[in-house]
Amino acid sequence: MQIDSFLADTREELHDARTVTSHWSAPVQALSGLLRRDPIVRMYALEMFQQVPRQHRVVSSIAELLEALELLSTRAPEYSSDPERANFFPVSTLFVYMMATPAGQALFRNHDFNDCLRGILKSWCLYLDSPESRDVLHENDNGWLCESSCERHNLDEYLIPDASDPHWGFKSFNDFFHRQIRPECRPIEEPGNSSVIVSPNDGTLYKVALGVKSADLFWIKSQPYSLHDMLAGDTSANKFEGGAVFQSFLDGRNYHRFWSPISGTVSKLKTIEGLMFSNAESIGEDSTAGTYSQGYMSCVNTRTLVFIESDDPGIGTVCLIAVGISEVSSISTFVEVGRHVDKGEELGYFSYGGSSVCLIFKPGAIREFTIDSGKAGTEVGTRGVVLRAGQRIAEH
């Protein structure tokens, strides 16, 4: 199994190279301090290690957890042409079995523990934004610019700053990760037709839900959308009650920038610092480190809300939610309140990691979703449909 292969490599590396604690990064030292002074957090951590099945256990002590986080968060991830090891997110893979334990479910929802993890991820993001992180951007077999990676990631569809440069002109690993697509590869469908709504991102469909409620039990197995929680208590939640939610998932191979699905004016921007490694207990074991919990994550994870007032009064306000999943440590936006954006105009991007995007529509805004549909009722989306930014997904 690909997860176990990665974890076995990590376990072996931890045994081969022990980190001197005085050389730990400040965020890892902050987590160390929390685990020393807070007995409840320490209790959950120790129980979590023991609850992971022995064959999947990479760390068995707090010291090993800190060493693993220091190791993984101070380097750029290497590419592997082996399909069993390609496109991994190292930190979420480290946590995948821990997240599924009863103690892990509690620990990853602890605010202080979560804040420490956020500090580690933000520090890692700074490294991945730096020129030093380009050491994995090369054409050798384990480089992100090798022939295998070019094919897997469709790099021919992207703008390459300088193909003659050893790093192809990318300034950092994150610069490569959120690289720009060639405009001709993602045309905007009917840009002048305000009744046509387009996908804001590349990815795969997770769910389309109709008749969404202002408040719902988002943690149960079906993960119904809860507008009050998705919008973090914003007063506009009631305006969307009875409307629709469209959600799609971006994996490591996708284009990681998101666009406006409509033409209109940005009326509000809001960022919520939430969870990163928590999943819905109701879905059971999830070897994907939480991607089966995207409905739940839209209510609790770190996310940015972009409210857009459509040029078409029949559509009204649309809210785009950029949701960070696993080790996404940064969601960047380019727009400000009051700015008019065209359909298909770039709003922002995700730094390294997995991510998800939701669109929330008012009742009556959508006449028809034009993607493939499944069962009738409150869920009409067929999970797994491949989406491309700019393609038609709905009509008013």
CB 255 within 8 A of CB 389: yes
Q: Could you give the 3-state DSSP secondary structure of residue 89?
A: coil
pLDDT of residue 383: 59
The residue-averaged pLDDT of 367-393 equals 71
The single-letter DSSP state of residue 66 is H
| Spatial separation of the C-alpha atoms in residues 33 and 41, rounded to whole Å | 11
Give the DSSP H or E segment for 43: helix 39-51
Q: Given a cut of 60, is residue 322 above it in pLDDT?
A: yes
pLDDT tens, residue by residue, 125-146: 999 999 999 999 999 888 999 9
Cα end-to-end span (Å), the chain: 45
Amino acid code (one letter) for 155: L
pLDDT of residue 132: 97
62-81 burial, b at 16+ Cβ within 10 Å, e below that, comes to bebbbbbbbbbbbbbbebbe
| Spatial separation of the C-alpha atoms in residues 357 and 322, rounded to whole Å | 5
381 band by pLDDT with thresholds 50, 70 and 90: very low
Q: Comparing 58-62, 112-116, 182-186, which segment has the lowest mean pLDDT?
A: 58-62
The two beta strands, 264-272 and 340-341, are: antiparallel
User: By percentage, how much of the chain surpasses pLDDT 70?
Assistant: 91
Q: Given a cut of 50, is residue 184 above it in pLDDT?
A: yes
| Spatial separation of the C-alpha atoms in residues 386 and 56, rounded to whole Å | 32
| Spatial separation of the C-alpha atoms in residues 92 and 90, rounded to whole Å | 6
- Which residue has 């690289």 as its token pair? 179
pLDDT of residue 378: 42
| Spatial separation of the C-alpha atoms in residues 146 and 241, rounded to whole Å | 48
CB 6 within 8 A of CB 85: yes
pLDDT tens, residue by residue, 206-259: 999 999 999 888 787 888 999 999 999 898 889 999 999 999 998 888 999 999
| Spatial separation of the C-alpha atoms in residues 234 and 256, rounded to whole Å | 27
Summary mean pLDDT of the chain:
89
- What is the dihedral sign for C-alpha 9, 12, 14, 18? negative
pLDDT of residue 289: 63
Angle between helix 39-51 and helix 111-128 axes, rounded to 10 deg: 70
pTM above 0.85, yes or no: yes
Beta bridge mates, 331 = 350
> Among 307, 232, 215, which Cα is nearest to 275's?
232
pLDDT tens, residue by residue, 95-111: 989 998 999 999 999 99
User: Nearest-5° angle of CA 276, CA 101, CA 116?
Assistant: 35
pLDDT of residue 172: 97
> Among 191, 231, 222, 181, which Cα is nearest to 349's?
181
CB 300 within 8 A of CB 346: no
CB 295 within 8 A of CB 247: yes
pLDDT tens, residue by residue, 49-92: 999 999 888 899 999 999 999 988 899 998 887 765 555 688 88
344 band by pLDDT with thresholds 50, 70 and 90: very high
| Spatial separation of the C-alpha atoms in residues 317 and 172, rounded to whole Å | 36
pLDDT tens, residue by residue, 285-295: 766 666 788 88
For the chain, how many residues are written? 396
Beta bridge mates, 18 = none
pLDDT of residue 217: 86
| Spatial separation of the C-alpha atoms in residues 275 and 358, rounded to whole Å | 17
